[in-house]
Amino acid sequence: MDDSPVTADPIAILRGRFGYPSFRPGQEELIRSVLAGQDTLGVLPTGGGKSVCYQIPAMMIDGLTLVVTPLVSLMQDQVVRACAVGINAHCLTAAQTRRERSLVMGALRTGRVDLLFVSPERLPAASFMRAIVRVRIGLIAVDEAHCISQWGHDFRPAYRMIGAFREGQRTPVLALTASATPAVRRDITASLGLERPKVVVHSFDRPNLWWAIKTARSGRGRLQRLVEIAFRTHGTGIVYAPTRTSVEAVRHRLSRAGIAAEAYHAGLPGPLRSAVQARFMSGASRVVVATNAFGMGIDKPDVRFVLHLQLPPTLEAYYQEAGRAGRDGEPSVCVAFHAIRDRRLGVRFINRTHPHEARLRAVHWRLLHLAGRAGWLACDDPRLRRLAGPEFDAWQSGEGSGVLSALERIDAIRQVGTGSGDGVSSRSRIWLLDRPNWSRSRELRRCALVRLRAVQRLASGPGCRRNGLLRYFGESVTVRCGRCDWCGWDSGTEGSCLDG
């Protein structure tokens, strides 16, 4: 597909620049595929080393490696890591000053950037398009590629722009994700327009992890059992709780039990969140209690346990969060608590993320009325905040929940920038579109309910926990694993992991 000249050898670069003796499973196959100019889709487990799969090609391919990623808050860290191994890397974010972005744009135009991180929202920005039009792009890497799929657990409409951006180019695309079912893989391929892609799916199996889902009817009961597990388990750990209030309650209860724990959630100031993360990564903090805001980009190898006060609403999210344990291959524990009533909380989450079509139509009609002939509303219009209510802040922060985010997903509204021409840092209007994709809203809600039922089956149904997860992600398994509370309950596995 692409005739970019390639130099050196990936294994030599891995050993010389990164200091690793050999590739992890799947990495070399992905790298050699993109070096051959072939569209490639890689599904590697959490901690499988996806960044190496585009960093090494960035050193070898003539031209820019453009990485599209939703992890805006982690871009600067990714740049620092890439520069540390000798890659001329930069990023473009709305958090940068205009001068900082101008310097990056200048380096881009003059060919002094080998690796560039951008968000999908950046792609259609006028200033970016002016800078990129004369740049030779050797590779487009799409990180967290499941976000492009409307059937994925973290769908982001802006990811749909990648396919249009790529049109007319012969540049190969590398799509990477840690959690994609077969249906999501097919949708990624179609949405990105991948041509006869090389698909590398590494096994989702993590033999060193011990899985358990424990029934706890009362909140006080599950909190007590969670504290007992954290007290018995050696090493560092992450405890996930569904809300900011529950995060603080768990942290307080752990502290009362003599376990030093810190809280992490979106309600804390940015510098404090960064400090908590830094202390956890350095080993200064033993336990972090967090919402799902914590974890993206966390590559701490010696996490010995991940506990969930409540199962997430999707198995993709659960696998990704629990999979942050035991990345060094040592025995580690993943325990989640569950009660039948949790399903009601899951449905409540779905109602917030994927509201009923009737509500979407009512809000859209009201927005059209407010916009009038102009066809748009200012994002700071107080009428918009009153209409969306508490969900307005979630929409502004990009959390993906609430009626406005749902309307964006079905092309009912679109955010645009004015003034600077940046298209990202100055979103000040929403345009009202008169042909929303109502069928997509129904299908997204249906798929969310299907995923919630899959969580319920894993938690409540008989059978091996690990095999249930593997089957969900398309792997065929039949043997008892001996590494979960269903298969290994009488074998002493739990005790050896917790007390070992």
Which runs of E-coded beta strand occur in 59-188? Answer: 64-68, 89-91, 115-118, 137-142, 173-177
Question: Per-domain residue ranges for the chain?
Answer: 10-201, 209-339, 348-444
DSSP-assigned letters across all residues of 183-236: HHHHHHHHHHT-SS-EEEE-----TTEEEEEEE-SSHHHHHHHHHHHHHHS-SE
Mean pLDDT, range 449-476, rounded to an integer: 91
Q: What is the distance between the alpha carbons of residues 56 and 28, in angstroms, rounded to a whole number?
A: 10
Q: How many helices (H) does the chain have, and how many strands (E)?
A: 20, 16
Give the pair of three-digit tokens for residue 256: 């009362």
Q: Does domain 10-201 have CATH number 3.40.50.300?
A: yes
CATH node for 348-444: 1.10.10
Mean pLDDT, range 62-73, rounded to an integer: 88
- What are the backbone angles phi and psi of residue 209, rounded to the nearest 5°? -95, 140
pLDDT in tens, 315-350: 998 998 999 999 888 999 999 999 888 888 889 889
Q: What is the pLDDT of residue 495?
A: 46
| 500 vs 395, more confident | 395
Which runs of E-coded beta strand occur in 24-82? Answer: 40-43, 64-68
Q: What is the pLDDT of residue 3?
A: 47
Q: Is the pLDDT of residue 409 over 90?
A: no
What is the rounded (10 degree) CA torsion for 488, 493, 497, 500?
180
| 110 vs 152, more confident | 110
Give the pair of three-digit tokens for residue 9: 């050898």
| 492 vs 406, more confident | 406
Q: How far is CA 54 from CA 63, 414, 454, in A?
A: 13, 31, 33
Q: What is the distance between the alpha carbons of residues 466 and 473, in angstroms, rounded to a whole number?
A: 11
pLDDT in tens, 93-104: 888 888 999 999
Q: What is the distance between the alpha carbons of residues 340 and 217, in angstroms, rounded to a whole number?
A: 8
pLDDT in tens, 195-211: 999 999 988 888 899 99
What is the rounded (10 degree) CA torsion for 377, 383, 387, 393?
80
Specify the DSSP class assigned to residue 128. Answer: H
Q: What is the distance between the alpha carbons of residues 259 and 257, in angstroms, rounded to a whole number?
A: 6
Specify the DSSP class assigned to residue 336. Answer: E
Q: What is the distance between the alpha carbons of residues 278 and 299, in angstroms, rounded to a whole number?
A: 12
Q: What is the pLDDT of residue 417?
A: 59
CB atoms near residue 36 (< 10 Å) = 13
Mean pLDDT, range 279-290, rounded to an integer: 92
Q: Tell which residue, 109, 113, 125, has the closest CA to residue 425.
A: 125
Pairing mode, strands 236-240 and 115-118: unpaired
Place of tokens 């030779």: 136
Q: Is the pLDDT of residue 445 over 90?
A: yes
Q: Is the pLDDT of residue 82 over 50?
A: yes
> What is the maximum alpha-carbon separation in the chain?
70
Averaged confidence pLDDT in the chain: 86
Q: How far is CA 282 from CA 85, 285, 286, 299, in A?
A: 21, 8, 10, 11
Q: What is the distance between the alpha carbons of residues 106 and 113, in angstroms, rounded to a whole number?
A: 10
Q: What is the CA radius of gyration of the chain?
A: 23
Pairing mode, strands 261-264 and 427-432: unpaired
- What are the backbone angles phi and psi of residue 174, rounded to the nearest 5°? -115, 110
Confidence class for position 461, pLDDT limits 50, 70, 90: confident
Confidence class for position 398, pLDDT limits 50, 70, 90: low
Using the CB atoms, write b or e for 166-182: b if 16+ within 10 Å: beeeebbbbbbbbbbbe
Q: Tell which residue, 383, 390, 393, 432, has the closest CA to residue 411.
A: 432
Q: What percent of the chain has pLDDT over 90?
A: 50
CB atoms near residue 74 (< 10 Å) = 17
Q: What is the pLDDT of residue 170?
A: 79
- Name the least confident of 45-54, 130-139, 402-411: 45-54
Q: What is the distance between the alpha carbons of residues 500 and 495, in angstroms, rounded to a whole number?
A: 7
Percent helix / strand / coil, the chain, rounded to 5: 45, 15, 40
Q: What is the pLDDT of residue 168?
A: 67
Q: What is the pLDDT of residue 49?
A: 86
Contact yes or no for 432/413 (Cβ under 8 A) = yes
Q: What is the pLDDT of residue 71?
A: 75
Q: Is the pLDDT of residue 419 over 60?
A: no
pTM, whole model, 2 decimals?
A: 0.83
Q: Is the pLDDT of residue 313 over 50?
A: yes
Q: Is the pLDDT of residue 194 over 60?
A: yes
Mean pLDDT, range 364-388, rounded to an integer: 90
Confidence class for position 420, pLDDT limits 50, 70, 90: very low
Angle (CA) 350-333-267 rounded to 5° is: 45
Q: What is the distance between the alpha carbons of residues 128 and 364, in angstroms, rounded to a whole number?
A: 31
Architecture of domain 209-339: 3-Layer(aba) Sandwich (3.40)
- Name the least confident of 9-23, 149-163, 268-282, 468-482: 149-163
Q: How far is CA 297 from CA 47, 144, 160, in A?
A: 9, 11, 23
Q: Is the pLDDT of residue 147 over 50?
A: yes
| 398 vs 371, more confident | 371
Identical fold for domains 10-201 and 209-339, yes or no, is: yes
Q: What is the distance between the alpha carbons of residues 103 and 123, in angstroms, rounded to a whole number?
A: 18
| 499 vs 157, more confident | 157
Residues in the chain: 500
